[in-house]
């Protein structure tokens, strides 16, 4: 198997008229623990159940540029491993890579377009940052 692959869902992002009100609605009706970023879901890695992993659920303003050039009002973020290798594989296959890999303390990101023009975010996470940030205040079973 080649290096660089999707390992799971890392986030779900969608546009709405009032992101704050939408977060509050989901909190009030579904019990989501939310903050200004949305809701953080905690799960366990199948390959190492002692290690937590995270999925970010976020609401964004309709005028957000974060989804461009896609015309969709949502974007899926995929957790990946070996992001550099994956980007090289995608470029070699003719996939549109929209930007350079950006590195933050919580991971590496890059954006691509799928065949129908949907913007897709790829994320090689550093889960420990979310463990430290959330202090256990996450949405989990």
Q: What are the φ and ψ backbone dihedral angles of 135, each rounded to 5 degrees?
A: 50, 40
**Number of independent structural domains in the chain:** 1
* Residue 81 forms part of a structural domain: yes
* Residue 123 forms part of a structural domain: yes
Residue 1 has pLDDT above 60, yes or no: no
Share of the chain above pLDDT 90, in %: 94
Question: Under a CB-based contact definition with an 8 Å cutoff, are residues 138 and 33 in contact?
Answer: yes
What is the per-residue pLDDT for 141? 77
| Full residue range of the structural domain in which residue 119 is found | 5-134
Question: Under a CB-based contact definition with an 8 Å cutoff, are residues 97 and 87 in contact?
Answer: yes
SS3 66: coil
* Residue 70 forms part of a structural domain: yes
* Residue 141 forms part of a structural domain: no
pLDDT in tens, 58-108: 999 999 999 999 999 999 999 999 999 999 999 999 999 999 999 999 999
pTM of the model: 0.92
* Residue 30 forms part of a structural domain: yes
What is the per-residue pLDDT for 124? 98
Residue 14's nearest CA partner among 60, 56, 46, 47 is 60
Element (H or E) spanning 78, and its range? strand 74-81
SS3 127: helix
* Residue 139 forms part of a structural domain: no
SS3 114: coil
* Residue 69 forms part of a structural domain: yes
Q: Residue 64 maps to which CATH number?
A: 3.10.180.10
Averaged over 104-116, what is the pLDDT? 97
* Residue 98 forms part of a structural domain: yes
């Amino acid at each position: 198997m080649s290096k660089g692959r999707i390992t799971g869902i890392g986030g779900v992002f969608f546009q709405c008229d009032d992101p704050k009100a939408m977060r509050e609605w989901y909190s009030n009706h579904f019990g989501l623990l939310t903050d200004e970023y949305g809701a953080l879901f905690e799960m366990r890695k199948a390959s190492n159940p002692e290690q937590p992993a995270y999925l970010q659920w976020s609401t964004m303003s309709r005028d957000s540029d974060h989804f461009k050039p896609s015309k969709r009002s949502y974007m899926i973020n995929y957790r990946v491993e070996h992001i550099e290798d994956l980007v090289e594989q995608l470029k070699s296959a003719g996939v549109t890579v929209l930007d350079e890999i950006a590195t933050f303390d919580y991971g590496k990101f890059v954006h691509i377009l799928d065949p129908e023009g949907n913007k897709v975010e790829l994320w090689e996470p550093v889960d420990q940052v979310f463990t430290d940030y959330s202090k256990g205040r996450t949405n989990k079973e």
